[in-house]
């Protein structure tokens, strides 16, 4: 390669890396800020960050996701924040609303905005980020059904099981989130003993 051309290639490469560097560093810092204070595994009332912090994080994520709506790294963190807000809720109806919103965000991330098809998800080789979304969607949905007076439909039950199955292949600690979500159903001994509100594709009901 001629020396002048080689020099031009090197200049372009260095300039490109310099442009990417600050953005990557800023992203890493944002992720670290959002992850600070969370337990390394399943969450409960005692381990979740305080409500005011979660509301601030939710606003921050809303702004970020306008710019990057399809990035699973932001989506599953939003689900986690919504799960936490449900844990801080003063009553069961409010908690269910937060968890319904969480399952909707998590399911949409898992399916890339398409209809929830559990068989297709089981067969697909999803990227790790979308499997993390599945784990947190299973966690949120399982909390929702457990707070519905043990009256979830078979569709809800099957959705949690399917999402948890996908989520179990996510990297740790998220795989443990999926296992905890599935275990929550077992502990509640759920069955079709009543009727919950209709479950829209993507889990969008209250």
Is residue 58 one of the residues assigned to a domain?
A: yes
Confidence of residue 68 (pLDDT cuts 50, 70, 90): very high
Q: What is the pLDDT of residues 119-144, one digit of tens each?
A: 999 899 999 999 999 999 999 999 99
What average pLDDT does the structure give for the chain?
84
On the question of pLDDT at 157 being above 70, the answer is yes
pTM listed for this prediction: 0.81
Does 17 fall in a domain?
A: no
Q: Is residue 6 part of a domain?
A: no
Pick from 41-50, 126-135, 197-206: least confident: 197-206
Contact 121, 114 (CB under 8 A): no
Which CATH number goes with the domain that contains 138?
A: 1.25.40
> Is 79 within the bounds of a domain?
yes
Contact 82, 109 (CB under 8 A): no
CA distance 158 to 160: 6
Burial class (CB in 10 A: 0-12, 13-18, 19+), 144: buried
Q: Does residue 197 lie in a domain region?
A: no
Closest CA to 166 of 117, 101, 104: 117
CA 24 – CA 110 distance, rounded (Å): 24
pLDDT at res. 17: 39
pLDDT confidence tier of residue 2, bands split at 50, 70 and 90: low
Residues in the chain, how many? 206
Tell me the pLDDT tens digit for each residue of 160-197.
Answer: 999 999 999 999 999 999 999 999 988 876 443 333 43
What's the domain range around 75?
A: 44-188
pLDDT category of residue 151 using cuts at 50, 70 and 90: low
Decide if 11 is inside a domain. Answer: no
Q: What is the mean pLDDT of residues 27-46?
A: 94
Question: What domain count does the chain have?
Answer: 1
Q: Is a pLDDT exceeding 70 seen at residue 16? A: no
Give the pLDDT of residue 20.
Answer: 52
- pLDDT at site 185: 85
Specify if 61 maps to a domain: yes
The verdict on residue 33 lying in a domain is no
């Amino acid at each position: 390669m001629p020396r002048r051309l080689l020099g031009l290639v090197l200049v372009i490469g260095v300039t490109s890396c310099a442009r990417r560097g600050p953005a990557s560093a800023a992203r890493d810092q944002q992720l670290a800020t959002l992850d600070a204070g969370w337990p390394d595994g399943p969450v409960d009332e005692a381990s979740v960050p305080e409500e005011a912090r979660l509301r601030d994080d939710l606003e921050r994520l809303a702004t970020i996701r306008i710019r990057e709506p399809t990035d699973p790294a932001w989506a599953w963190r939003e689900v986690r924040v919504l799960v936490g807000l449900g844990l801080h809720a003063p009553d069961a109806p409010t908690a269910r609303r937060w968890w319904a919103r969480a399952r909707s965000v998590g399911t949409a991330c898992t399916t890339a905005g398409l209809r929830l098809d559990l068989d297709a998800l089981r067969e697909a080789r999803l990227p790790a980020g979308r499997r993390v979304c599945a784990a947190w969607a299973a966690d949120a949905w399982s909390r929702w059904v457990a707070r519905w007076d043990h009256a979830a439909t078979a569709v809800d039950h099957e959705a949690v099981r399917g999402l948890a199955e996908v989520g179990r292949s996510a990297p740790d600690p998220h795989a443990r989130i999926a296992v905890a979500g599935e275990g929550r159903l077992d502990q509640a001994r759920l069955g079709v003993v009543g009727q919950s509100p209709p479950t829209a594709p993507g889990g969008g009901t209250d």
